[in-house]
């Protein structure tokens, strides 16, 4: 049954039924595109120059870009390669509130279709499962048109300069200390110690929301390359429905909210149905900010285990309130000039350059040694790109030589694909595709991990006011865009609602099935967030449906590591087969027991969200809030567990080329990111983690990249 139909059957408020047309998972194959010109310069694409480099880095995402920047700053010649182009000054990329749209901009998008389960019967229960219909459209739902081909679950990535840092949701959250100390134990490399890793965070952060004096745990950095600000809660306060929900969340955590409720009630009593004057909202905002002012990136000993409902730091810079990412940093370094106009750093960036393999010298040393890469130059060559054709232009081939090292940083799906295409991976899989084996490394493409995410959504009887005027750039005169772009100001309020990514507060908590650290993050999203399917960027918040609120439940430190990335063919333009085997699919009793713990945690997270909705005290008379997703008839623990099995998705895929112990045959990397069994080759990206870290990965990847830079530079001495 299609989602539209399911919802229509619910006897809910008229507003919800009216809005149901928005929850239509049958969407055009390519979502409608905006055509606003970029806001600033973007790097033009060109193939690699005919030069030799000391280092070649493949992939410019969270791992590759910071590493390239550090090596270039240290005086080395570096070629940073990406298969996509630079689209980093498009509105969807720069504007915090529009980040979901960035995932489906054709120029940036790499859309994969993955399998959560091999078991088709189970897979088909997912209302987001996508098929290609005989008409060439995408259909997502449980009753595909006759003759449709099952594709899998849509998994958005960015193929372009900056990688997924150009569409990520702007949450730069440090991982748990145990995540680092675990790698220290595994490898015996003391530099993985959490204290040392914190040093890299300080080095890379440019904190713009605290003063060094307020930074009581000395957690932060103030001069790095990644700007961080904090959610401007004051933006939300004029929206009393939002305030009502946040206070309900606080109450559920045992936080005393009487005082602020009473103050707010008293203040608004004389302004019923009117907009509150700013001196009234300022008072409420101050109290709200106090309530949630806990800094989740603090460095206190109990930070990882203490439940906290807090404001969310953002990788957004002040005073322009734009996305901050490593793309900006490598762009600056690659374009920096000396006084005489010559290039300041030996960093070149080759775009639209799809690396097809790492080349090796197998003759002159004991171990095969990486010597460079082969590539194809051309736009949209990779078939995850919605503009790629199955048969068309195959690109212009070329190769580049590295005198010191090649570093692969193509991300969790592409790094194992590139290694395998190069002959580094499980021998049998390579042999079956006639790929000459350089090094039999059985761990490549195994150990794939992700979080489990699921949303609990409610509909309010009227629209939220935060995004009231916003058209989400579907019109040329979007007033919210105009106020965001207006003028630089350190005060986010001057930039209006687009200065927030919409995720005002989040709960970091331990479920009853947790280890020592947070295993749940539950974030408040003013929209209808049901996971990823083609076209989803057009359904989360729309000009017509602004009355939804979702508690997004994210199960962290998930236990399943049975996922795989395997080659479908030896054609480097093809995407690999990505199978998660969620919830221990096909595993033994131990895996099933792990799966039950993860399910239990996810259900506890959902129950928290449901409770917050159920107990909400609406500040405005006559307002109602009703849970709509999952539908109210999904209510027992058993039903919720089944819902999680059917509907949970992830978007933090990691761990497919894991660092491991010397005696572990499945270890792909050593503690300094070197690919085992070959020379001159490292992997520096999300695939390097042995276990998925923290609640969000990107800060951990930035820190890891900083460590890799030190490791590489110390070997170069």
Ligand X SMILES: Cc1cc2nc3c(=O)[nH]c(=O)nc-3n(C[C@H](O)[C@H](O)[C@H](O)COP(=O)(O)OP(=O)(O)OC[C@H]3O[C@@H](n4cnc5c(N)ncnc54)[C@H](O)[C@@H]3O)c2cc1C
Q: Considering only residues 539 through 558, tell me which ones interact with ligand NAG, judged by CB under 6 A.
A: 544, 546-547
Residue 48 CB burial class (10 angstroms; 0-12, 13-18, ≥19): buried
Nearest residue (CB) to ligand X, 450 versus 604: 450
Is 192 in contact with 700 (CB distance < 8 Å)? no
- The C-alpha atoms of residue 108 and residue 100 are separated, in whole angstroms, by 12
Q: Which of 634, 666, 713, 716 binds ligand NAG (CB under 6 A)?
A: 634
Residue 6 sits at φ, ψ, to 5 deg, of: -55, -45
Tell me the HSE value of 538 on the side-chain side, using a 13 A CA sphere.
Answer: 18
Stretch that binds ligand NAG, among 4-12, 221-229, 383-391, 474-482 (CB under 6 A): 4-12
262 binds ligand NAG (CB under 6 A): yes
Of the pair 268, 381, the CB lying nearest ligand NAG is at 268
Tell whether residue 196 is a contact of ligand NAG (CB under 6 A). Answer: no
Report, in Å, the least distance between residue 226 CB and ligand X: 11
Q: Cβ of 25: how many Cβ atoms within 10 Å? A: 22
In total, the chain counts a number of residues equal to: 717
Q: Helices 177-187 and 194-204 sit at what angle, rounded to 10 degrees?
A: 120
Strand-pair partners of 373: 358, 400
Out of ligand NAG, ligand X, none, what residue 576 binds, judged by CB under 5 to 8 A for its kind, is: none
Q: Give the CA angle between residues 183, 577, 86 to the nearest 5°.
A: 75
Q: Which does 418 bind (CB under 5 to 8 A by kind): ligand X, ligand NAG, none?
A: ligand X
CB of 145 to ligand X, least distance (A): 28
Which entry of ligand X, ligand NAG, none binds 410, CB below 5 to 8 A by partner kind?
Answer: ligand X
C-alpha distances in angstroms, 30 versus 89, 92, 106, 133? Answer: 21, 16, 8, 14
The number of angstroms, rounded, from the C-alpha of 679 to the middle of its chain's C-alpha atoms is 31
Helices (H), 548-665: 589-614, 637-647
Is residue 275 close enough to count as binding ligand NAG by CB under 6 A? no
Q: Residue 355 is inside which H or E element, if any?
A: strand 353-361
Whether the ω angle into residue 630 lies within 30 degrees of 0, i.e. cis, is: yes
**349 and 332 Cβ atoms separated by less than 8 Å:** no
- Interface positions with ligand X (CB under 6 A): 58-64, 81-84, 103, 156-160, 163-165, 167-171, 354-355, 409-412, 414, 418, 651-652, 685-686, 696-699, 701
Is 122 a residue that touches ligand NAG (CB under 6 A)?
yes
Question: Does position 277 bind ligand NAG by CB under 6 A?
Answer: yes
Q: Which does 463 bind (CB under 5 to 8 A by kind): ligand NAG, ligand X, none?
A: ligand NAG
Does residue number 4 form part of the binding site for ligand NAG (CB under 6 A)? yes
Question: Is 196 or 399 the residue whose CB approaches ligand NAG more closely?
Answer: 399
Which residues, other chains included, contact 383 with Cβ-Cβ below 8 Å and sequence gap of 6+?
A: 390, 573, 574, 575
CB of 602 to ligand NAG, least distance (A): 16
Minimum distance from residue 138 beta carbon to ligand NAG (Å):
10
Which of 280, 321, 551, 583 binds ligand NAG (CB under 6 A)? It is: 280
Site for ligand NAG in 91-120 (CB under 6 A): 119
* Among 71, 564, 96, CA closest to 347: 71
463 scored as a contact of ligand NAG (CB under 6 A): yes
> For ligand X, which is the closer residue by CB, 238 or 410?
410
Task: Compare residues 3 and 692 and give the one whose CB is closer to ligand NAG.
Answer: 3
Extended strands (E) in 520-663: 520-525, 548-555, 564-566, 577-579, 625-629
Beta-bridge partner residues of 440: 425
x-or-dash pattern for ligand NAG, window 30-69, by CB under 6 A?
--------------------x-------------------
- Using CB distances below 5 to 8 A depending on partner kind, what does residue 3 bind out of ligand NAG, ligand X, none? none
* Shortest separation between residue 72's beta carbon and ligand X, angstroms: 17
> On the CB side of 24, how many CA atoms lie within 13 Å of its CA?
11
Which residue's CB atom is positioned nearest to ligand X? 61
Shortest CB 166 distance to ligand X, Å: 8
HSE-CB of 456 using CA atoms within 13 angstroms: 27
- Dihedral sign of CA atoms 548, 553, 554, 559 in order: negative
Which of 12, 26, 208, 407 lies at the binding interface for ligand NAG (CB under 6 A)? Answer: 26
The smaller minimum CB distance to ligand X, of residues 165 and 318, is found at 165
Residues facing residue 113 across a β-bridge = 154
Alpha-carbon gap, residue 619 to 609, rounded angstroms: 19
Of the candidates 269, 270, 279, 342, which one interacts with ligand NAG according to CB under 6 A?
A: 279
Indicate which of ligand NAG, ligand X, none lies near residue 258 (CB less than 5 to 8 Å, by partner kind): ligand NAG
Of the pair 229, 251, the CB lying nearest ligand X is at: 229
Residue 15 binds to ligand NAG (criterion: CB under 6 A): yes
Partner in contact with 63, chosen from ligand NAG, ligand X, none, beta carbon below 5 to 8 Å by kind: ligand X
Helix 194-204 vs helix 698-716: angle between axes, to the nearest 10 degrees?
A: 100
Question: From ligand X, ligand NAG, none, which one binds at residue 606 (CB under 5 to 8 Å depending on kind)?
Answer: none
Binding of residue 121 to ligand NAG (CB under 6 A)? yes
Residue 168 interacts, among ligand NAG, ligand X, none and using kind-specific CB cut-offs from 5 to 8 Å, with ligand X
Cα–Cα distance measured from residue 212 to residue 229, given in angstroms and rounded to the nearest whole number: 14
Instruction: Write out the residues near ligand NAG by the rule CB under 6 A.
Output: 1, 4, 6, 9, 15, 18, 21, 24, 26-28, 50, 119, 121-122, 258-259, 262, 277, 279-280, 462-463, 544, 546-547, 631, 633-634, 639
């Amino acid at each position: 049954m299609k989602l539209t139909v399911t919802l229509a059957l619910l006897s809910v408020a008229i507003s919800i039924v009216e809005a149901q047309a928005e929850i239509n998972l049958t969407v055009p194959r390519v979502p409608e595109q905006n055509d606003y010109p970029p806001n600033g310069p973007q790097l033009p694409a060109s193939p690699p120059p005919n030069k030799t480099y000391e280092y070649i880095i493949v992939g410019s995402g969270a791992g590759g870009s910071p590493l390239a920047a550090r090596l270039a700053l240290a005086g080395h010649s570096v070629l940073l390669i990406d298969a996509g182009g630079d689209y980093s000054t498009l509105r969807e990329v720069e504007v915090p509130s529009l980040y979901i749209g960035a995932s489906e901009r054709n120029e940036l998008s790499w859309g994969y279709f993955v399998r959560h389960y091999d078991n088709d019967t189970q897979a088909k229960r997912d209302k987001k499962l996508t098929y290609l219909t005989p008409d060439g459209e995408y259909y997502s739902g449980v009753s595909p048109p006759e003759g449709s081909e099952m594709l899998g679950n849509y998994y958005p990535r960015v193929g372009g300069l900056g990688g997924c840092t150009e569409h990520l949701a702007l949450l730069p959250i440090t991982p748990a200390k145990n995540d680092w100390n675990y790698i220290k134990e595994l490898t015996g490399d003391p530099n993985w110690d959490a204290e040392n890793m914190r040093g890299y965070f300080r080095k890379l952060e440019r904190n713009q929301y605290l003063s060094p004096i307020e930074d009581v745990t000395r957690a932060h950095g103030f001069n790095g390359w990644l700007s961080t600000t904090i959610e401007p809660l004051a933006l939300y306060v004029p929206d009393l429905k939002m305030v009502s929900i946040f206070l309900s969340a606080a109450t559920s955590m045992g936080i005393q909210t009487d005082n602020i409720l009473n103050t707010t009630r008293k203040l608004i009593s004389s302004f019923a149905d009117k907009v509150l004057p700013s001196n009234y909202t300022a008072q409420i905002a101050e109290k709200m900010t106090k309530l949630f002012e806990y800094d989740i990136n603090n460095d206190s000993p109990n930070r990882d285990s203490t439940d906290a409902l807090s404001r969310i730091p953002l990788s957004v810079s002040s005073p322009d309130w734009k996305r901050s990412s490593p793309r900006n940093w490598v762009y600056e370094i690659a374009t920096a000039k000396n006084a005489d106009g010559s290039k300041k750093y030996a960093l070149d960036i080759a775009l639209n350059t799809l690396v097809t393999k790492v080349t090796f010298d197998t003759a002159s040393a004991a171990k095969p040694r990486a010597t460079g890469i082969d590539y194809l130059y051309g736009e949209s060559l990779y078939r995850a790109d919605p503009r790629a054709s199955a048969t068309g232009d195959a690109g212009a081939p070329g190769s580049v030589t590295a005198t010191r090292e090649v570093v692969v940083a193509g991300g969790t799906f592409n790094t194992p694909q590139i290694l395998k295409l190069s002959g580094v991976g499980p021998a049998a899989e390579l042999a079956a595709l006639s790929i000459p084996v350089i090094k039999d490394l059985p761990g490549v493409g195994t150990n794939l991990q992700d979080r489990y995410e699921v949303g609990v959504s409610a509909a309010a009887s009227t629209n939220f006011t935060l995004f009231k005027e916003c058209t989400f750039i579907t019109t040329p005169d979007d007033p919210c865009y105009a106020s965001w772009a207006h003028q630089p100001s350190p005060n986010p309020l001057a930039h209006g609602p687009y200065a927030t990514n919409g995720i005002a507060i989040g709960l970091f908590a331990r479920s009853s099935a947790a280890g020592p650290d947070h295993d749940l993050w539950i974030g408040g999203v003013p929209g209808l967030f049901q996971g990823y399917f083609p076209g989803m960027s057009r359904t989360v918040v729309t000009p017509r449906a602004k009355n939804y609120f979702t508690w997004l439940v994210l199960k962290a430190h998930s236990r399943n590591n049975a996922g795989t990335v395997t080659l479908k063919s030896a054609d480097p333009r093809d995407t690999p087969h990505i199978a998660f085997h969620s919830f221990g699919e096909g595993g033994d009793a131990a895996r099933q027991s792990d799966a039950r713990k993860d399910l239990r945690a996810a259900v506890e997270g959902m129950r928290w969200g449901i409770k917050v909705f159920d107990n909400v005290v609406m500040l405005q008379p006559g307002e109602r809030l009703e849970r709509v997703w999952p539908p109210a008839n999904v209510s027992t623990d058993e039903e919720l567990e089944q819902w999680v099995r059917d509907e949970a998705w992830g978007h933090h895929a990691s761990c497919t080329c894991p660092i491991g112990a010397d005696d572990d045959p499945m270890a792909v990397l050593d503690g300094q990111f070197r690919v085992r069994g070959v020379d001159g080759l490292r992997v520096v990206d999300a695939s390097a983690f042995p276990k998925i870290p923290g609640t969000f990965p990107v800060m951990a990847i930035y820190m890891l990249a900083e460590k890799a830079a030190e490791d590489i530079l110390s070997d170069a001495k």
